[in-house]
Amino acid sequence: MKNQITKTMTLGEIAAEHPESVEILAKYGLRCVGCSVAAWETLEQGATAHGIDDKKLNDILEELNETQ
């Protein structure tokens, strides 16, 4: 099992360590994994920037970690 994905990981880190997560992130409107900000923006920061609330962010994290 891979390391758990957390909201403090950068989007780039998530995509690099968990390539299967890119499709899930895109499903929730977080297509920024290919963007230049992915290198420093955390999942939580990206979610906030895209209007995703804490409950939805927790749902995303749960789904991301279930697919590992």
- Between 34 and 22, residue with greater pLDDT: 22
- Beta-carbon neighbour count of residue 6 at 10 Å? 14
- Model pTM greater than 0.85? yes
- pLDDT (0 to 100) of residue 35: 80
pLDDT of residue 22 exceeding 70, the answer is yes
Torsion of CA 13, 19, 68, 5, to 10 degrees: 20
* Mean pLDDT score of the chain: 92
Alpha carbon distance 35, 65 (integer Å) = 23
Q: 68 and 2 in contact (C-beta within 8 Å)?
A: yes
Q: How confident is the model at residue 33 (pLDDT cuts 50, 70, 90)?
A: confident
- Give the residue with greater pLDDT, 33 vs 12: 12
- DSSP 3-state assignment of 2? coil
